[in-house]
Structure 1
Protein backbone atom coordinates (compact mmCIF):
# COMPACT_ATOMS: atom_id res chain seq x y z
CA UNK A 1 0.00 0.00 0.00
CA UNK A 2 1.26 3.48 -0.89
CA UNK A 3 0.17 6.91 0.31
CA UNK A 4 -0.99 7.80 -3.22
CA UNK A 5 -3.92 5.41 -2.72
CA UNK A 6 -5.04 6.76 0.66
CA UNK A 7 -7.18 9.76 -0.47
CA UNK A 8 -9.32 7.42 -2.59
CA UNK A 9 -9.97 4.69 -0.03
CA UNK A 10 -13.35 4.19 1.62
CA UNK A 11 -14.94 1.72 3.99
CA UNK A 12 -16.56 -1.11 2.01
CA UNK A 13 -19.28 -1.38 4.66
CA UNK A 14 -20.47 2.18 5.31
CA UNK A 15 -18.62 4.06 2.51
CA UNK A 16 -17.01 6.56 4.89
CA UNK A 17 -13.43 7.78 4.53
CA UNK A 18 -10.53 5.86 6.07
CA UNK A 19 -7.59 7.17 8.08
CA UNK A 20 -4.17 5.54 8.26
CA UNK A 21 -2.84 4.81 11.77
CA UNK A 22 0.22 3.17 13.32
CA UNK A 23 1.97 2.76 9.97
CA UNK A 24 5.43 1.39 9.29
CA UNK A 25 7.07 2.05 5.93
CA UNK A 26 10.13 0.85 4.08
CA UNK A 27 12.82 2.94 2.36
CA UNK A 28 10.74 3.07 -0.84
CA UNK A 29 7.75 4.55 0.96
CA UNK A 30 5.55 1.46 0.83
CA UNK A 31 3.30 1.10 3.87
CA UNK A 32 4.22 -2.35 5.17
CA UNK A 33 2.17 -2.45 8.37
CA UNK A 34 -0.58 -0.37 9.91
CA UNK A 35 -4.33 -0.05 10.02
CA UNK A 36 -7.07 1.86 8.22
CA UNK A 37 -9.70 3.25 10.58
CA UNK A 38 -13.21 4.06 9.34
CA UNK A 39 -14.52 7.49 10.34
CA UNK A 40 -18.10 6.23 10.08
CA UNK A 41 -18.66 2.75 11.49
CA UNK A 42 -15.32 2.68 13.39
CA UNK A 43 -14.20 -0.53 11.67
CA UNK A 44 -10.48 -1.25 11.60
CA UNK A 45 -8.81 -2.83 8.56
CA UNK A 46 -5.22 -4.06 8.94
CA UNK A 47 -2.32 -3.61 6.55
CA UNK A 48 0.05 -6.56 6.68
CA UNK A 49 3.11 -7.11 4.48
CA UNK A 50 2.01 -4.21 2.29
CA UNK A 51 -1.55 -5.45 1.64
CA UNK A 52 -4.68 -3.88 3.12
CA UNK A 53 -7.19 -6.54 4.21
CA UNK A 54 -10.89 -5.68 4.07
CA UNK A 55 -12.19 -9.27 4.22
CA UNK A 56 -10.88 -11.15 7.23
CA UNK A 57 -10.90 -14.99 7.11
CA UNK A 58 -11.22 -16.43 3.57
CA UNK A 59 -14.78 -17.38 2.60
CA UNK A 60 -14.69 -18.06 -1.16
CA UNK A 61 -18.25 -18.89 -2.32
CA UNK A 62 -17.50 -21.06 -5.39
CA UNK A 63 -15.05 -23.87 -6.29
CA UNK A 64 -13.48 -21.61 -8.92
CA UNK A 65 -12.70 -19.02 -6.25
CA UNK A 66 -11.52 -21.67 -3.79
CA UNK A 67 -8.75 -22.71 -6.19
CA UNK A 68 -7.53 -19.11 -6.32
CA UNK A 69 -6.86 -19.29 -2.58
CA UNK A 70 -4.20 -21.97 -3.12
CA UNK A 71 -0.57 -20.73 -3.06
CA UNK A 72 0.26 -23.13 -5.92
CA UNK A 73 -2.41 -21.52 -8.12
CA UNK A 74 -1.00 -18.08 -7.38
CA UNK A 75 2.55 -19.24 -8.17
CA UNK A 76 1.70 -20.97 -11.44
CA UNK A 77 -0.89 -18.50 -12.80
CA UNK A 78 1.45 -16.14 -14.68
CA UNK A 79 4.26 -18.66 -14.99
CA UNK A 80 2.30 -21.48 -16.59
CA UNK A 81 -1.14 -20.37 -17.83
CA UNK A 82 -1.76 -16.67 -18.33
CA UNK A 83 0.89 -15.95 -21.03
CA UNK A 84 -0.72 -18.51 -23.36
CA UNK A 85 -4.39 -18.22 -22.35
CA UNK A 86 -5.65 -15.73 -24.93
CA UNK A 87 -3.83 -17.47 -27.78
CA UNK A 88 -5.48 -20.76 -26.87
CA UNK A 89 -8.92 -19.25 -26.35
CA UNK A 90 -8.94 -16.94 -29.37
CA UNK A 91 -7.28 -19.46 -31.72
CA UNK A 92 -4.93 -16.76 -32.99
CA UNK A 93 -1.65 -15.28 -31.82
CA UNK A 94 -2.55 -13.17 -28.77
CA UNK A 95 0.56 -12.67 -26.59
CA UNK A 96 0.96 -9.99 -23.94
CA UNK A 97 2.51 -7.64 -26.50
CA UNK A 98 -0.87 -7.60 -28.25
CA UNK A 99 -3.24 -7.87 -25.28
CA UNK A 100 -1.74 -5.28 -22.96
CA UNK A 101 -1.49 -2.42 -25.50
CA UNK A 102 -5.11 -3.14 -26.46
CA UNK A 103 -6.23 -2.90 -22.84
CA UNK A 104 -4.16 0.25 -22.25
CA UNK A 105 -5.51 1.90 -25.41
CA UNK A 106 -9.07 1.26 -24.27
CA UNK A 107 -8.34 2.54 -20.76
CA UNK A 108 -6.19 5.58 -21.67
CA UNK A 109 -4.39 5.82 -18.31
CA UNK A 110 -2.51 8.90 -19.46
CA UNK A 111 -5.65 10.76 -18.30
CA UNK A 112 -4.32 10.29 -14.76
CA UNK A 113 -6.13 9.57 -11.52
CA UNK A 114 -6.92 6.32 -9.72
CA UNK A 115 -7.13 3.09 -11.70
CA UNK A 116 -8.45 -0.16 -10.25
CA UNK A 117 -7.42 -3.63 -11.37
CA UNK A 118 -10.33 -5.63 -9.92
CA UNK A 119 -9.93 -9.38 -9.39
CA UNK A 120 -6.34 -8.65 -10.31
CA UNK A 121 -4.85 -12.14 -9.66
CA UNK A 122 -1.07 -11.64 -10.16
CA UNK A 123 -1.55 -7.99 -11.12
CA UNK A 124 -0.85 -8.22 -14.86
CA UNK A 125 -3.11 -5.31 -15.82
CA UNK A 126 -2.04 -3.31 -12.76
CA UNK A 127 1.59 -3.48 -13.89
CA UNK A 128 0.74 -2.55 -17.48
CA UNK A 129 -1.29 0.47 -16.33
CA UNK A 130 1.43 1.60 -13.93
CA UNK A 131 4.11 1.38 -16.61
CA UNK A 132 1.97 3.60 -18.83
CA UNK A 133 1.40 6.05 -15.97
CA UNK A 134 5.12 6.72 -15.44
CA UNK A 135 5.47 10.51 -15.23
CA UNK A 136 1.69 11.09 -15.16
CA UNK A 137 -0.26 11.93 -11.99
CA UNK A 138 -1.95 8.66 -11.19
CA UNK A 139 -1.93 5.49 -9.14
CA UNK A 140 -3.11 1.88 -9.51
CA UNK A 141 -4.85 -0.19 -6.85
CA UNK A 142 -5.08 -3.96 -7.37
CA UNK A 143 -8.01 -5.70 -5.67
CA UNK A 144 -8.54 -9.43 -5.21
CA UNK A 145 -10.17 -11.77 -2.67
CA UNK A 146 -7.14 -14.13 -2.61
CA UNK A 147 -4.25 -13.26 -0.34
CA UNK A 148 -1.83 -15.65 -2.14
CA UNK A 149 -2.65 -13.97 -5.46
CA UNK A 150 -2.12 -10.52 -3.97
CA UNK A 151 1.16 -11.54 -2.32
CA UNK A 152 2.44 -12.79 -5.68
CA UNK A 153 1.20 -9.64 -7.42
CA UNK A 154 3.04 -7.49 -4.90
CA UNK A 155 6.26 -9.48 -5.40
CA UNK A 156 6.03 -9.07 -9.17
CA UNK A 157 5.41 -5.32 -8.78
CA UNK A 158 8.28 -4.81 -6.36
CA UNK A 159 10.65 -6.84 -8.54
CA UNK A 160 9.70 -4.57 -11.46
CA UNK A 161 10.14 -1.41 -9.38
CA UNK A 162 6.47 -0.45 -9.76
CA UNK A 163 4.67 1.31 -6.86
CA UNK A 164 1.28 -0.43 -6.93
CA UNK A 165 -1.09 -0.63 -3.97
CA UNK A 166 -2.93 -3.87 -3.21
CA UNK A 167 -6.07 -4.57 -1.21
CA UNK A 168 -7.84 -7.80 -0.31
CA UNK A 169 -11.49 -7.02 -0.91
CA UNK A 170 -14.61 -8.17 -2.71
CA UNK A 171 -15.46 -7.01 -6.23
CA UNK A 172 -18.98 -6.41 -4.86
CA UNK A 173 -17.70 -4.10 -2.08
CA UNK A 174 -14.74 -2.13 -3.38
CA UNK A 175 -12.73 -0.21 -0.76
CA UNK A 176 -12.88 3.14 -2.59
CA UNK A 177 -14.96 6.27 -2.23
CA UNK A 178 -17.71 6.89 -4.77
CA UNK A 179 -16.82 8.63 -8.02
CA UNK A 180 -13.05 8.44 -7.53
CA UNK A 181 -11.78 6.06 -10.22
CA UNK A 182 -10.62 7.23 -13.61
CA UNK A 183 -10.72 3.62 -14.73
CA UNK A 184 -11.64 0.12 -13.65
CA UNK A 185 -10.14 -2.92 -15.38
CA UNK A 186 -11.22 -6.54 -14.99
CA UNK A 187 -9.08 -9.02 -16.89
CA UNK A 188 -10.77 -12.38 -17.39
CA UNK A 189 -12.43 -12.55 -13.99
CA UNK A 190 -16.00 -11.42 -14.68
CA UNK A 191 -16.71 -15.02 -15.67
CA UNK A 192 -16.03 -16.23 -12.13
CA UNK A 193 -16.86 -13.09 -10.16
CA UNK A 194 -20.00 -14.61 -8.64
CA UNK A 195 -22.56 -11.81 -8.24
CA UNK A 196 -22.14 -10.03 -11.60
CA UNK A 197 -24.77 -7.41 -10.88
CA UNK A 198 -23.20 -6.56 -7.53
CA UNK A 199 -19.81 -6.19 -9.20
CA UNK A 200 -21.13 -3.96 -12.01
CA UNK A 201 -22.98 -1.77 -9.51
CA UNK A 202 -19.71 -1.28 -7.63
CA UNK A 203 -17.83 -0.47 -10.83
CA UNK A 204 -20.40 2.21 -11.65
CA UNK A 205 -20.26 3.60 -8.10
CA UNK A 206 -16.47 3.81 -8.17
CA UNK A 207 -16.14 5.50 -11.56
CA UNK A 208 -15.82 9.22 -12.12
CA UNK A 209 -18.28 10.74 -14.62
CA UNK A 210 -15.51 10.61 -17.25
CA UNK A 211 -14.23 7.19 -16.12
CA UNK A 212 -13.77 4.06 -18.21
CA UNK A 213 -14.53 0.42 -17.54
CA UNK A 214 -12.48 -2.10 -19.52
CA UNK A 215 -13.30 -5.80 -19.23
CA UNK A 216 -11.72 -8.81 -20.88
CA UNK A 217 -14.08 -11.77 -20.63
CA UNK A 218 -14.75 -15.14 -22.24
CA UNK A 219 -17.82 -15.48 -24.46
CA UNK A 220 -20.38 -18.25 -24.55
CA UNK A 221 -19.22 -20.95 -26.97
CA UNK A 222 -20.96 -21.29 -30.31
CA UNK A 223 -20.37 -25.03 -30.74
CA UNK A 224 -21.99 -27.93 -28.92
CA UNK A 225 -18.67 -29.32 -27.59
CA UNK A 226 -17.67 -25.86 -26.39
CA UNK A 227 -20.99 -25.36 -24.63
CA UNK A 228 -20.63 -28.77 -23.01
CA UNK A 229 -17.24 -27.84 -21.57
CA UNK A 230 -18.57 -24.49 -20.39
CA UNK A 231 -21.51 -26.28 -18.78
CA UNK A 232 -19.09 -28.35 -16.71
CA UNK A 233 -17.22 -25.20 -15.72
CA UNK A 234 -20.53 -23.64 -14.78
CA UNK A 235 -20.94 -26.19 -11.99
CA UNK A 236 -17.80 -24.68 -10.45
CA UNK A 237 -19.10 -21.13 -10.59
CA UNK A 238 -17.82 -19.99 -14.02
CA UNK A 239 -20.41 -18.24 -16.22
CA UNK A 240 -20.24 -17.27 -19.91
CA UNK A 241 -22.30 -14.67 -21.84
CA UNK A 242 -22.71 -13.61 -25.46
CA UNK A 243 -21.27 -10.15 -26.15
CA UNK A 244 -24.66 -8.49 -26.56
CA UNK A 245 -26.03 -9.96 -23.34
CA UNK A 246 -23.04 -8.73 -21.37
CA UNK A 247 -23.38 -5.21 -22.80
CA UNK A 248 -27.06 -5.27 -21.82
CA UNK A 249 -26.11 -6.20 -18.25
CA UNK A 250 -23.66 -3.29 -18.25
CA UNK A 251 -26.45 -0.95 -19.36
CA UNK A 252 -28.73 -1.97 -16.49
CA UNK A 253 -26.08 -0.56 -14.14
CA UNK A 254 -25.53 2.70 -15.99
CA UNK A 255 -22.54 1.59 -18.06
CA UNK A 256 -22.77 2.35 -21.78
CA UNK A 257 -20.60 0.18 -24.05
CA UNK A 258 -18.58 2.23 -26.53
CA UNK A 259 -16.24 -0.47 -27.84
CA UNK A 260 -16.79 -4.19 -28.20
CA UNK A 261 -14.24 -6.54 -29.76
CA UNK A 262 -14.27 -10.33 -30.01
CA UNK A 263 -11.52 -12.77 -30.96
CA UNK A 264 -12.75 -16.35 -30.75
CA UNK A 265 -13.94 -16.74 -27.17
CA UNK A 266 -12.09 -13.64 -25.99
CA UNK A 267 -14.08 -10.41 -25.66
CA UNK A 268 -13.00 -6.88 -24.79
CA UNK A 269 -15.55 -4.28 -23.72
CA UNK A 270 -15.02 -0.62 -22.95
CA UNK A 271 -17.91 1.14 -21.24
CA UNK A 272 -18.44 4.58 -19.68
CA UNK A 273 -20.98 5.94 -17.19
CA UNK A 274 -24.25 6.61 -19.00
Structure 2
Protein backbone atom coordinates (compact mmCIF):
# COMPACT_ATOMS: atom_id res chain seq x y z
CA UNK A 1 0.00 0.00 0.00
CA UNK A 2 1.25 3.47 -0.85
CA UNK A 3 1.54 6.33 1.65
CA UNK A 4 -0.12 8.68 -0.82
CA UNK A 5 -3.50 6.94 -0.54
CA UNK A 6 -3.77 7.14 3.26
CA UNK A 7 -5.22 10.72 3.29
CA UNK A 8 -7.85 9.56 0.79
CA UNK A 9 -9.14 6.72 2.99
CA UNK A 10 -12.11 6.86 5.34
CA UNK A 11 -13.48 4.59 8.05
CA UNK A 12 -16.34 2.43 6.70
CA UNK A 13 -17.99 2.54 10.13
CA UNK A 14 -18.17 6.32 10.63
CA UNK A 15 -16.54 7.94 7.54
CA UNK A 16 -13.83 9.45 9.75
CA UNK A 17 -10.25 10.03 8.62
CA UNK A 18 -7.70 7.30 9.29
CA UNK A 19 -4.22 7.50 10.81
CA UNK A 20 -1.44 5.08 9.96
CA UNK A 21 0.42 3.51 12.89
CA UNK A 22 3.45 1.22 13.21
CA UNK A 23 4.12 0.95 9.49
CA UNK A 24 6.60 -1.60 8.21
CA UNK A 25 7.84 -1.04 4.69
CA UNK A 26 9.34 -2.99 1.82
CA UNK A 27 12.60 -1.85 0.25
CA UNK A 28 10.68 0.26 -2.27
CA UNK A 29 8.75 2.06 0.49
CA UNK A 30 5.52 0.12 0.05
CA UNK A 31 3.64 -0.30 3.36
CA UNK A 32 3.47 -4.03 4.03
CA UNK A 33 2.28 -4.03 7.66
CA UNK A 34 0.74 -1.70 10.21
CA UNK A 35 -2.74 -0.48 11.07
CA UNK A 36 -5.20 2.26 10.19
CA UNK A 37 -6.89 3.87 13.21
CA UNK A 38 -10.07 5.94 13.36
CA UNK A 39 -11.15 8.26 16.20
CA UNK A 40 -14.30 6.12 16.51
CA UNK A 41 -12.09 3.31 17.81
CA UNK A 42 -12.07 1.15 14.70
CA UNK A 43 -8.74 -0.39 13.74
CA UNK A 44 -8.03 -1.85 10.32
CA UNK A 45 -4.91 -4.00 9.95
CA UNK A 46 -2.48 -3.96 7.05
CA UNK A 47 -1.00 -7.38 6.37
CA UNK A 48 1.24 -8.38 3.48
CA UNK A 49 0.62 -4.98 1.90
CA UNK A 50 -3.21 -5.28 1.98
CA UNK A 51 -5.47 -3.11 4.16
CA UNK A 52 -8.35 -5.17 5.56
CA UNK A 53 -11.64 -3.34 6.22
CA UNK A 54 -13.78 -6.48 6.51
CA UNK A 55 -12.46 -8.91 9.12
CA UNK A 56 -13.52 -12.58 8.90
CA UNK A 57 -15.07 -13.49 5.52
CA UNK A 58 -18.86 -13.76 5.44
CA UNK A 59 -19.74 -14.25 1.76
CA UNK A 60 -23.54 -14.08 1.33
CA UNK A 61 -23.77 -16.00 -1.97
CA UNK A 62 -22.26 -19.07 -3.57
CA UNK A 63 -20.58 -16.90 -6.23
CA UNK A 64 -18.87 -14.78 -3.59
CA UNK A 65 -17.97 -17.86 -1.57
CA UNK A 66 -16.29 -19.36 -4.65
CA UNK A 67 -14.14 -16.23 -4.95
CA UNK A 68 -12.84 -16.82 -1.42
CA UNK A 69 -11.13 -20.03 -2.58
CA UNK A 70 -7.40 -19.81 -3.35
CA UNK A 71 -7.93 -22.13 -6.32
CA UNK A 72 -10.39 -19.65 -7.87
CA UNK A 73 -7.94 -16.77 -7.45
CA UNK A 74 -5.15 -18.86 -8.98
CA UNK A 75 -7.24 -19.93 -12.00
CA UNK A 76 -9.09 -16.70 -12.77
CA UNK A 77 -6.54 -14.94 -15.00
CA UNK A 78 -4.70 -18.11 -15.95
CA UNK A 79 -7.62 -20.18 -17.24
CA UNK A 80 -10.74 -18.04 -17.67
CA UNK A 81 -10.28 -14.30 -18.03
CA UNK A 82 -8.05 -14.18 -21.17
CA UNK A 83 -10.76 -15.94 -23.21
CA UNK A 84 -13.92 -14.74 -21.45
CA UNK A 85 -14.91 -11.78 -23.59
CA UNK A 86 -14.22 -13.60 -26.86
CA UNK A 87 -16.52 -16.41 -25.73
CA UNK A 88 -19.22 -14.12 -24.34
CA UNK A 89 -19.22 -11.51 -27.10
CA UNK A 90 -18.96 -13.89 -30.06
CA UNK A 91 -16.07 -11.91 -31.57
CA UNK A 92 -12.34 -11.56 -31.04
CA UNK A 93 -11.88 -9.57 -27.85
CA UNK A 94 -8.31 -9.81 -26.54
CA UNK A 95 -7.00 -7.97 -23.50
CA UNK A 96 -5.40 -5.17 -25.50
CA UNK A 97 -8.76 -4.20 -26.99
CA UNK A 98 -10.61 -4.35 -23.68
CA UNK A 99 -8.00 -2.55 -21.58
CA UNK A 100 -7.46 0.19 -24.15
CA UNK A 101 -11.20 0.89 -24.15
CA UNK A 102 -11.50 0.96 -20.36
CA UNK A 103 -8.45 3.14 -19.70
CA UNK A 104 -9.39 5.59 -22.46
CA UNK A 105 -13.02 5.93 -21.38
CA UNK A 106 -12.12 6.45 -17.72
CA UNK A 107 -9.50 9.09 -18.62
CA UNK A 108 -6.64 7.38 -16.82
CA UNK A 109 -3.90 9.23 -18.74
CA UNK A 110 -5.01 12.49 -17.12
CA UNK A 111 -4.01 11.25 -13.67
CA UNK A 112 -5.86 11.38 -10.35
CA UNK A 113 -7.21 8.67 -8.08
CA UNK A 114 -8.65 5.61 -9.83
CA UNK A 115 -10.48 2.89 -7.93
CA UNK A 116 -11.00 -0.59 -9.37
CA UNK A 117 -13.94 -2.02 -7.43
CA UNK A 118 -14.42 -5.80 -7.19
CA UNK A 119 -11.00 -6.00 -8.83
CA UNK A 120 -10.50 -9.81 -8.71
CA UNK A 121 -6.90 -10.41 -9.86
CA UNK A 122 -6.42 -6.70 -10.60
CA UNK A 123 -6.55 -6.77 -14.41
CA UNK A 124 -8.10 -3.30 -14.70
CA UNK A 125 -6.06 -1.92 -11.78
CA UNK A 126 -2.77 -2.85 -13.46
CA UNK A 127 -3.92 -1.31 -16.75
CA UNK A 128 -4.87 1.89 -14.93
CA UNK A 129 -1.50 2.01 -13.18
CA UNK A 130 0.30 1.66 -16.51
CA UNK A 131 -1.85 4.39 -18.04
CA UNK A 132 -0.99 6.94 -15.32
CA UNK A 133 2.75 6.25 -15.22
CA UNK A 134 3.50 9.74 -16.59
CA UNK A 135 0.79 11.63 -14.68
CA UNK A 136 0.36 12.24 -10.95
CA UNK A 137 -2.05 9.69 -9.60
CA UNK A 138 -2.84 6.61 -7.57
CA UNK A 139 -4.69 3.36 -8.18
CA UNK A 140 -6.61 1.45 -5.52
CA UNK A 141 -7.89 -2.08 -6.10
CA UNK A 142 -10.72 -3.33 -3.84
CA UNK A 143 -12.23 -6.78 -3.49
CA UNK A 144 -14.01 -8.66 -0.71
CA UNK A 145 -12.02 -11.88 -1.26
CA UNK A 146 -8.57 -12.03 0.33
CA UNK A 147 -7.18 -14.67 -2.09
CA UNK A 148 -8.15 -12.43 -5.01
CA UNK A 149 -6.38 -9.33 -3.67
CA UNK A 150 -3.36 -11.41 -2.65
CA UNK A 151 -3.06 -12.67 -6.23
CA UNK A 152 -3.70 -9.16 -7.53
CA UNK A 153 -0.91 -7.69 -5.41
CA UNK A 154 1.55 -10.37 -6.53
CA UNK A 155 0.69 -9.67 -10.16
CA UNK A 156 1.05 -5.91 -9.74
CA UNK A 157 4.46 -6.24 -8.12
CA UNK A 158 5.60 -8.69 -10.81
CA UNK A 159 4.48 -6.17 -13.44
CA UNK A 160 6.28 -3.38 -11.53
CA UNK A 161 3.20 -1.17 -11.29
CA UNK A 162 2.03 0.55 -8.11
CA UNK A 163 -1.44 -0.38 -6.91
CA UNK A 164 -2.74 -0.17 -3.33
CA UNK A 165 -4.91 -3.18 -2.58
CA UNK A 166 -7.66 -3.34 0.01
CA UNK A 167 -10.21 -5.83 1.20
CA UNK A 168 -13.55 -4.04 1.53
CA UNK A 169 -17.20 -4.15 0.53
CA UNK A 170 -18.37 -2.61 -2.73
CA UNK A 171 -21.34 -1.24 -0.79
CA UNK A 172 -19.15 0.50 1.83
CA UNK A 173 -16.05 1.78 0.09
CA UNK A 174 -13.28 3.10 2.40
CA UNK A 175 -12.67 6.14 0.17
CA UNK A 176 -13.34 9.83 0.85
CA UNK A 177 -16.36 11.38 -0.85
CA UNK A 178 -15.53 13.03 -4.17
CA UNK A 179 -11.92 11.77 -4.12
CA UNK A 180 -11.93 9.57 -7.23
CA UNK A 181 -11.28 10.80 -10.76
CA UNK A 182 -12.44 7.44 -12.06
CA UNK A 183 -13.98 4.15 -10.94
CA UNK A 184 -13.98 0.89 -12.88
CA UNK A 185 -15.87 -2.36 -12.33
CA UNK A 186 -15.49 -5.38 -14.60
CA UNK A 187 -17.85 -8.32 -14.90
CA UNK A 188 -17.92 -8.55 -11.11
CA UNK A 189 -20.83 -6.10 -11.23
CA UNK A 190 -23.01 -9.11 -12.04
CA UNK A 191 -22.19 -10.72 -8.70
CA UNK A 192 -21.82 -7.59 -6.59
CA UNK A 193 -24.91 -8.30 -4.48
CA UNK A 194 -26.78 -5.07 -3.70
CA UNK A 195 -26.29 -3.30 -7.04
CA UNK A 196 -28.05 -0.08 -6.06
CA UNK A 197 -26.00 0.35 -2.87
CA UNK A 198 -22.81 -0.25 -4.87
CA UNK A 199 -23.79 2.38 -7.46
CA UNK A 200 -24.60 4.90 -4.72
CA UNK A 201 -21.15 4.35 -3.24
CA UNK A 202 -19.53 4.82 -6.64
CA UNK A 203 -21.40 8.11 -7.02
CA UNK A 204 -20.33 9.19 -3.54
CA UNK A 205 -16.61 8.68 -4.08
CA UNK A 206 -16.58 10.11 -7.61
CA UNK A 207 -15.57 13.73 -8.17
CA UNK A 208 -18.28 15.77 -9.90
CA UNK A 209 -16.25 15.55 -13.13
CA UNK A 210 -15.31 11.91 -12.57
CA UNK A 211 -15.95 8.91 -14.79
CA UNK A 212 -17.41 5.48 -14.09
CA UNK A 213 -16.65 2.67 -16.56
CA UNK A 214 -18.11 -0.81 -16.32
CA UNK A 215 -18.06 -4.06 -18.25
CA UNK A 216 -21.28 -5.96 -17.57
CA UNK A 217 -23.01 -9.09 -18.85
CA UNK A 218 -26.58 -8.58 -20.07
CA UNK A 219 -29.55 -10.90 -20.24
CA UNK A 220 -28.99 -13.46 -23.02
CA UNK A 221 -31.15 -13.08 -26.14
CA UNK A 222 -31.73 -16.81 -26.67
CA UNK A 223 -33.94 -19.14 -24.65
CA UNK A 224 -31.01 -21.47 -24.02
CA UNK A 225 -28.83 -18.60 -22.86
CA UNK A 226 -31.53 -17.31 -20.51
CA UNK A 227 -31.99 -20.81 -19.08
CA UNK A 228 -28.27 -21.00 -18.29
CA UNK A 229 -28.40 -17.57 -16.69
CA UNK A 230 -31.40 -18.55 -14.55
CA UNK A 231 -29.45 -21.57 -13.33
CA UNK A 232 -26.39 -19.55 -12.30
CA UNK A 233 -28.51 -16.78 -10.79
CA UNK A 234 -29.29 -19.16 -7.91
CA UNK A 235 -25.63 -18.74 -6.92
CA UNK A 236 -25.91 -14.96 -6.70
CA UNK A 237 -25.10 -13.85 -10.26
CA UNK A 238 -27.57 -11.33 -11.70
CA UNK A 239 -28.23 -10.27 -15.30
CA UNK A 240 -30.13 -7.27 -16.61
CA UNK A 241 -31.35 -5.89 -19.89
CA UNK A 242 -29.37 -2.92 -21.17
CA UNK A 243 -32.16 -0.46 -20.44
CA UNK A 244 -32.77 -1.83 -16.94
CA UNK A 245 -29.09 -1.55 -16.08
CA UNK A 246 -28.77 1.99 -17.45
CA UNK A 247 -31.89 3.01 -15.53
CA UNK A 248 -30.29 1.73 -12.31
CA UNK A 249 -27.27 3.92 -13.11
CA UNK A 250 -29.51 6.95 -13.56
CA UNK A 251 -31.30 6.27 -10.27
CA UNK A 252 -27.89 6.49 -8.56
CA UNK A 253 -27.23 9.87 -10.27
CA UNK A 254 -24.77 8.31 -12.71
CA UNK A 255 -25.70 9.48 -16.19
CA UNK A 256 -24.76 7.03 -19.00
CA UNK A 257 -22.90 8.96 -21.69
CA UNK A 258 -21.58 6.21 -23.90
CA UNK A 259 -21.91 2.47 -24.34
CA UNK A 260 -20.80 -0.32 -26.62
CA UNK A 261 -22.49 -3.71 -26.76
CA UNK A 262 -20.80 -6.84 -28.06
CA UNK A 263 -23.03 -9.88 -27.72
CA UNK A 264 -24.08 -9.92 -24.07
CA UNK A 265 -21.06 -7.80 -23.07
CA UNK A 266 -21.85 -4.14 -22.38
CA UNK A 267 -19.25 -1.44 -21.77
CA UNK A 268 -20.69 1.73 -20.23
CA UNK A 269 -19.28 5.16 -19.43
CA UNK A 270 -21.36 7.09 -16.90
CA UNK A 271 -20.70 10.43 -15.23
CA UNK A 272 -22.27 12.16 -12.24
CA UNK A 273 -25.42 14.10 -13.07
CA UNK A 274 -23.81 17.36 -11.93
CA UNK A 275 -20.81 16.95 -14.29
Fold conserved between structures, TM > 0.5? yes
User: For each residue in 1:115-149, what CA deviation from the matched residue of structure 2 results, as whole angstroms up to 9, or x when unmatched?
Assistant: 00000000000000000000200000000000000
Question: For residues 245-274 of structure 1, what are the alpha-carbon distances to aligned partners after superposition, in whole Å with 9 as ceiling and x for unaligned?
Answer: 111000101100001110001000100000
Structure 1 stretches lacking a partner, 5+ long: none
Question: How big is the shift at 1:111?
Answer: 2.1
Could you list the runs of 4 or more consecutive aligned residues of structure 1 that deviate by over 2 angstroms after TM superposition?
A: none
- Counterpart-to-counterpart distance in 2, 1:13 and 1:116: 20
User: Aligned ranges for residues 106-117 of structure 1 at < 5 Å?
Assistant: 106-117=105-116
SS at 1:247 equivalent: helix
Q: How does 1:100-139 map to 2 (within 5 A)?
A: 100-139=99-138
Aligned pair 1:35/2:35, yes or no? yes
Give, in whole Å, the separation in 2 of the partners of 1:121 and 1:189.
Answer: 8
Show CA shifts across 1:178-215 (max 9, x none).
11000100011110000001100100000000100000
Equivalent residues, number: 273
Cα deviation, residue 42, structure 1? 1.8
Secondary structure of the residue aligned to 2:199 is helix
Give 2:250's aligned residue: 251
Aligned pairs for 1:39-188 within 5 A: 39=39, 41-188=40-187
Correspondence 1:21 to 2:21 = yes
Question: TM-score of the superposition, structure 2-length normalised?
Answer: 0.98
> Under a length normalisation based on structure 1, what TM-score does the superposition of the two structures give?
0.99
Distance in 1, matches of 2:83 and 2:234, equals 24
1:205 alignment counterpart: 204
Inter-partner Cα distance in structure 2 for 1:8 and 1:150: 19
Distance 1:236 1:134 in 2: 39
